[in-house]
Structure 1
Amino acid sequence: MSFQNTLEFAQALDLADPLRKYREEFYFPRVGGKEVIYFTGNSLGLQPKRTQRFVDEVMTDWKELAVEGHFHADKPWWDYHERLAAPLAKVVGAKTAEVTVMNTLTVNLHLLMVSFYRPTKKRFKILCEEKAFPSDQYMFQSQVKFHGLDPEITIVEVKKRKGEHHWRTEDVIEKINEIGEELALVLIGGVNYYNGQVFDIERITEAGKSVGAYVGWDLAHAVGNIELKLHDWGADFAAWCSYKYMNSGPGNASGVYIHEKYLDRKDIPRFEGWWGTKKETRFLMKPEFEPMPNADAWQISNAPVLSLAPYLASLELFEEVGMPPLIAKRNQIVAYLEFVLHEIDKEVESTFEIITPKDRGCQLSVFLHGEGRSLFDFLMSNGVITDWREPNVIRLAPAPFYCSFEDMYRFGQLLKKGILEKV
């Protein structure tokens, strides 16, 4: 398609958008009385309007049923989390039994490393990407120290090539093969938070497993954003937060995937708790742990129902639409945003450098050469909610559920105005 940087063209794209009605399913903040242009769904998704109904339902049951809500609510609390597994499995490309929801992201990664990071004298190294998200870095370091190992020796980072802004899959695979029999675990962010790059999960998983390592994925920026086939790709485990593209609310519960070959086994090392034991015998208070036959065996405590209610509300939207239409719109709207950036670049003296490779999801990370923080401040004060990263990068993530093509056009005009006025 040949794009045009005009309001009329952007509005025509919106009229042809099969997902356009879903914009009305979300609440937008306002600046100056107008809905903002929201580019930070990669940090916190907007609130679906139906969320309130799901939360109110739990609150009403708590008010009217109290403890009996565990078993007699319309959606009983004791198995509330089970309602999320099937729709989530479709989003991540897994079997329903392989998915559960519990805790928060880094907590779950720690718990999964109990099962999948079992260092020996020979096989003990962890492979991750250079400058992984700080939370992952801290997790790696603390896990390695917990096992009495030296992080400097144990944690191996795959680096970008000099002068490049993204990783090459062949470099990741080469490093995996180089470490070989010393490699215990590959754990990488499926979509890099800074540059928006989508890693080749299938090929990297295959490479890691070929040398005998476990392979897991931090999918915080991937779930609800890119196509995932975790079961078919053979990933051992994965975890993700739910408040970015999944729109479940700030700091909300995390999803977990564990490949079916590890399910319904008592010989898997893990930290265990009451909610991971079989439902049929849970209230018999037996001293022996009998694991649930699915990923719920990794649950420790009972589910935080008030947190899960917004997640279930959002998953209802994903069930209605499905990932293929979301990905189709994502591709088109990101391509249009890229076009608009290049068109504005021709009209101003600054130079925009898009550091996100073509292997991407919703996000474009843009170096604003010659510009400073004042441009970001101008955009924010004019209703463009975006994200600034030092030294002069803005991250733009037009989530397909609620962003419009007109938003992309309007953003371009505000960007040009901010540069030309040199605020």
Structure 2
Amino acid sequence: MTFQNTLEFAQQLDATDALAQYRNEFHYPQVNAKDVIYFTGNSLGLQPKRAQRFVDEVMKDWRDLAVEGHFYADKPWWDYHERLAAGLGKLVGAKPKEISVMNTLTVNLHLLMVSFYKPTAKRFKILCEEKAFPSDQYMLQSQVRFHGFDPKDAIVEAKKREGEHAWRTEDILQKINEVGDELALVLMGGVNYYNGQVLDMKAITKAGKSVGAFVGWDLAHAVGNVELSLHDWGADFAAWCSYKYMNSGPGNASGIFVHEKHLGKSDIPRFEGWWGTKKETRFLMKPEFDPTETADAWQLSNPPILSLAPYLASLELFDEVGMEALIKKQKQIVAYLEFILQDIDAQVDSTFEIITPQDRGCQLSVLLHGEGRSLFDYLMKQGVITDWREPNVIRLAPAPFYCSYEDMYHFGQILKKGILQK
């Protein structure tokens, strides 16, 4: 398709957009009495309008049934989390029994590392990406220290080549083979938060397994954004937050994946709690832990129902639309945004460098050469909600559920004005 940087062309794209009506399913903040242009679904997704109904249902059941809501609510609380498993399984390419929802992302990664980071005197190293998200770095450092190792020795980083903004798959695979039988775990972000790159998770998983390491993925920026096939890839585990592309609400519950080959085992190292026991015997209050046959065995406590309600509402939207349709629009709207940026760049005395490679999802990270924070501040005051990362990068994530092509056009005009008014 040959793009045009005109309002009419953007409106034509919206007129033929099969997902256009889903904009009406979300609430928009307003700036200057207008709906914002929202580019930060990679940080916090907009609120689905139907989320209120799902939360109200729980509040009504709590009011009317109190403790009996655990078993007699329309959606009983004691197995409420199980309603999310099938929908999440579709999104991450997993069987429902390989999915659970609990806690928050870093908490879950810590819990999963209890099972899948089992260092020995020889095999103790962890491979992650260079400058991983800080929470992942802190987690890995604390884990290796807990096991008596020095992070400088135990944590190996897959680096980008000097002067390049993206990782090369062959370099990551080479690093895996180089560490070889010293490698205990590969744990990386499937989609990098800073540059928006989608790593070749299939190839990296295969390589990690080939040298005898466990392989896990932090999918915070991947779930609801890119195609995933965790079961078929053979990943051992994964975890993700739900408040970015999944639109479940701030700080909401995390999902986990544990491959079925690890399920139903009572001898696997694991921190355990009451809700991980089999449903059939849970209320017998036995002193011995009897793990359920699913990923729920990693649950510690009963799930936070008021958090899961908006998550379930969002999953209903994903189930209606399907990832295939979302990815189809995602690819086109990101390409149109890239075209707008390049066209504006040609019109103004500035230089934009898109540091996100073609292996990408929703996000474009743009290095603004010659521009500073003042441009970001201007965009925000004009109702363009974006994200600033030092030294001078803005992250733009046009989520296909609620961003329009007309949004992309208007953003380009606002960006142009902000540069020229300096």
TM-score bucket of the superposed structures, by smaller chain: over 0.9
Q: How does 1:68-87 map to 2 (within 5 A)?
A: 68-87=68-87
1:322 aligns with 2:331: no
Question: Size of the alignment, in residue pairs?
Answer: 422
Superimposed CA distance per residue, residues 271-312 of structure 1 (whole angstroms, 9 cap, x where no aligned partner)? 000000000000000011110000000000000000000000
- Residue 217 of structure 1 corresponds to which residue in structure 2? 217
Match of 1:206 in 2: 206
Structure 2 counterpart of 1:174: 174
Q: Which residue of 1 aligns with 2:300?
A: 300
Once residues 364 and 131 of structure 1 are traced to their aligned partners in structure 2, the CA distance between those partners, rounded to angstroms, is 18
Structure 1 residue identity aligned to 2:352: F
In the alignment, which residue of structure 2 is the partner of 1:367? Answer: 367
Aligned to 1:122: 122
Please give the secondary structure, in 2, of the residue aligned with 1:224.
coil
Q: In structure 1, how many angstroms separate the alpha carbons of the residues matched to 2:95 and 2:77?
A: 23
- CA displacement, residues 303-333 of structure 1 (integer Å, 9 cap, x when unaligned): 0000000000000000000000000000000
The amino acid that maps onto 1:28 is: Y
User: Secondary structure in 1 aligned to 2:335?
Assistant: helix
* Equivalent-residue separation in structure 1 for 2:99 and 2:269 (angstroms): 18
CA distance in 2, matches of 1:108, 1:4: 45
How far 1:381 sits from its partner (Å)?
0.1
What TM-score, normalized to structure 2? 1.00
AA paired with 2:342?
H
Q: Residue 257 of structure 1: SS of its match in structure 2?
A: strand
Query: How far is the alpha carbon of 1:240 from its aligned partner?
Result: 0.1
Q: Counterpart of 1:81 in 2: which secondary structure?
A: helix
* Greater than 6 Å deviation, 4+ residue runs: none
SS at 2:145's partner residue? helix
Q: 2:162 and 2:282 mapped to 1: Cα distance?
A: 56
Residue aligning to 2:10 = 10
What is the rounded CA distance, in whole Å, between the counterparts of 1:310 and 1:370 in structure 2?
42
Per the alignment, residue 34 of structure 1 pairs with 34
Q: How does 1:133-152 map to 2 (within 5 A)?
A: 133-152=133-152
How far is 1:245 from its partner?
0.1
Residues in 2 aligned to 1:371 and 1:62: alpha-carbon distance in whole angstroms: 52
Corresponding residue for residue 280 of structure 1: 280
CA-CA distance at 1:73 after TM superposition: 0.3
What's 1:95 paired with?
Answer: 95
Q: Distance in 2 between matches of 1:180 and 1:372?
A: 43
Unaligned runs of 5+ in 1: none
| Aligned AA (2:283) | F
Counterpart-to-counterpart distance in 1, 2:220 and 2:55: 24
- 1:267 CA displacement: 1.3
% identity of equivalent residues:
80
Partners of 1:141 and 1:368 in 2: how far apart? Answer: 33
What corresponds to 2:394 in structure 1?
394
- 2:356 corresponds in structure 1 to 356
What do the CA deviations read for 1:114-164 (whole angstroms, capped 9, x no partner)?
A: 000000011000000000000000000000010011000000001110000
Aligned mates of 2:268, 2:48 — CA distance in 1? 38
In structure 2, what is the equivalent of residue 414 of structure 1?
414
AA aligned opposite 1:31: V
SS at match of 1:403: coil
The letter for the 2-side match of 1:215 is V
Q: Which residue of 2 aligns with 1:62?
A: 62
Q: Who is 2:258 aligned against?
A: 258
Superposition deviation, residue 50 in structure 1: 0.1
Give yes or no for the alignment of 1:47 onto 2:47. yes
TM-score (norm 1): 1.00
Question: How far apart, in 1, do the equivalents of 2:393 and 2:140 lie?
Answer: 27
d(CA) in 2 for partners of 1:374 and 1:122?
A: 51
Matched residue SS, 2:208: helix
Q: Once the two structures are superposed, what CA deviation does each residue of 1:68-124 show, in whole Å capped at 9, x if it has no partner? A: 000000000000000000000000000010001000000000000000000001100
Q: Partner letter of residue 330 of structure 2? A: R
- Whole-Å separation in 2 of the counterparts to 1:135 and 1:368: 26
1:149 partner SS: coil
Give the Å deviation of 1:233.
0.5
Structure 1 letter corresponding to 2:297: A
* CA distance in 2: counterparts of 1:382 and 1:228, whole angstroms: 36
* Alignment of 1:385 onto 2:374: no
Residue 237, structure 1, aligned to residue 237, structure 2: yes
SS across alignment from 2:101: strand
- Give the Cα–Cα distance (whole angstroms) in 1 for the partners of residues 25 and 390 of structure 2: 34
State the SS of the aligned residue for 1:366: strand
What amino acid maps onto 1:124 in structure 2? F
